[in-house]
């Protein structure tokens, strides 16, 4: 998404992440040790509305505790936030954020990245949309948001992020059915995730023999369960479920598994050409309340060419 920070506003592109809370932006000066500095960099010293949060402020302590997995200890003003693809050292401040070049919201708490690793996919930061009190949706006082997932292969498709009353999903008249499934109550120590109750997986018309308790969430220690996270590209399953999916794919694909280790994927097949993909049925995830999420072959199978570096 594109948004602007400060006065005068500095526009930057950020990744929407439902798996985290804090809004973070790469700030100037960028650390000489960082390999992931992406212009434009937000410069707090150039903004008339930036306010640095004191080390003992409740907002900074909340952000630091969330980054530490719920631990209340936070001795440093700058703290380390860990992501799937790397880490970032963050200091907290308050600023005016502008959306769609017209709606300005003062007093939004966010993190200034002073050093980081892992890269940001060409963006200049990340917008946490989790359930915690520091996420963008929480700071705006909204109780809902919506975003259409555009085709992964179509880099030119865009979608509008809707927050608040406008984030209402209705039947669009194309025959699609609006479905819903309830969130699962968050366990202690994991306040930001969106937990869903996954009840089963099917391939085509075949329901896989996955134990009924495979996706159960332990409410005491937070193990198990399933979260929906826009910051991750690949779905991860508990091993007992993954092995069922893997076995079903092997039974359906009339190709020998590849012995090459060019990728980090567990199961690959050598194709004669990209235009000859294996015949695969849809994969359907079944959720509490009867909701289903159907994944087409274009999203469950990924073609990697020899020259892709994989």
Q: Say if CB 241 and CB 29 are below 8 A apart.
A: no
Catalytic residue among 17, 170, 172, 239: 17
Catalytic residue among 170, 229, 266, 282: 229
Contact partners, residue 249, CB within 8 Å, separation at least 6: 203, 267, 280
Dihedral over alpha carbons 291, 294, 299, 301 (to 10 degrees): 120
Q: Tell me phi and psi for residue 274, to 5 degrees.
A: -60, -25
Strands 2-5 and 10-17: antiparallel
Whether 17 is catalytic is yes
Contact partners, residue 96, CB within 8 Å, separation at least 6: 5, 6, 7, 9, 49, 104, 105, 106, 107, 108
Residue whose C-alpha is closest to residue 192's, from 234, 228, 140: 228
Tokens of 141: 């006082």
Q: Which long-range contacts (CB under 8 A, 24 or more apart) does 205-213 make?
A: 205/281, 206/248, 206/281, 208/241, 208/244, 208/245, 208/248, 209/244, 210/240, 210/241, 210/244, 211/240
Q: Which long-range contacts (CB under 8 A, 24 or more apart) does 301-307 make?
A: 301/277, 302/265, 303/271, 303/274, 303/277, 304/262, 304/263, 304/268, 305/274
- Give me the DSSP letters along 130-146: SSSTTSHHHHTT-S-EE
Whether 220 is catalytic is no
Catalogue the active-site residues. 17, 229
């Amino acid at each position: 998404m594109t948004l602007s920070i400060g006065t005068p506003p500095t526009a930057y592109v950020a990744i929407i992440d439902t798996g985290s809370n804090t809004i973070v932006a790469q700030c100037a000066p960028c650390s000489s040790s960082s390999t992931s500095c992406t212009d434009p960099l937000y410069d707090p010293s150039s903004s008339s509305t930036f306010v640095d949060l004191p080390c003992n402020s409740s907002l900074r302590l909340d952000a630091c505790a969330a980054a530490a997995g719920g631990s209340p200890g936070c001795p440093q003003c700058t703290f380390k936030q860990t992501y799937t693809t790397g880490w970032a050292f963050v200091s907290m401040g308050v600023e005016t954020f502008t959306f769609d070049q017209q709606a300005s919201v003062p007093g939004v708490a966010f993190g200034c990245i002073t050093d980081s690793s892992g890269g940001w996919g060409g963006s200049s930061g990340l917008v946490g949309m989790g359930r915690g009190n520091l996420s963008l949706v929480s700071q705006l006082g909204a109780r809902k948001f919506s975003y259409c997932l555009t085709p992964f292969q179509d880099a030119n498709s865009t979608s509008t992020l809707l927050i608040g009353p406008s984030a209402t999903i209705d039947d669009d008249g194309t025959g699609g059915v609006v479905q819903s499934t309830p969130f699962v109550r968050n366990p202690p120590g994991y306040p930001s995730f969106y937990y869903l109750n996954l009840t089963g997986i099917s391939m085509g018309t075949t329901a896989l023999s996955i134990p009924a308790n495979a996706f159960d969430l332990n409410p005491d220690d937070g193990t198990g369960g399933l979260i929906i996270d826009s910051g991750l590209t690949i779905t991860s399953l508990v091993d007992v479920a993954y092995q069922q999916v893997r076995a079903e794919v092997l039974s359906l694909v009339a190709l020998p598994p590849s012995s090459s280790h060019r990728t980090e994927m567990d199961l690959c097949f050598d194709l004669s050409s990209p235009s000859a993909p294996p015949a695969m049925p849809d994969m359907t995830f079944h959720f509490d309340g009867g909701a289903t999420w159907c994944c087409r072959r274009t999203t469950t199978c990924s073609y990697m060419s020899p020259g892709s570096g994989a």
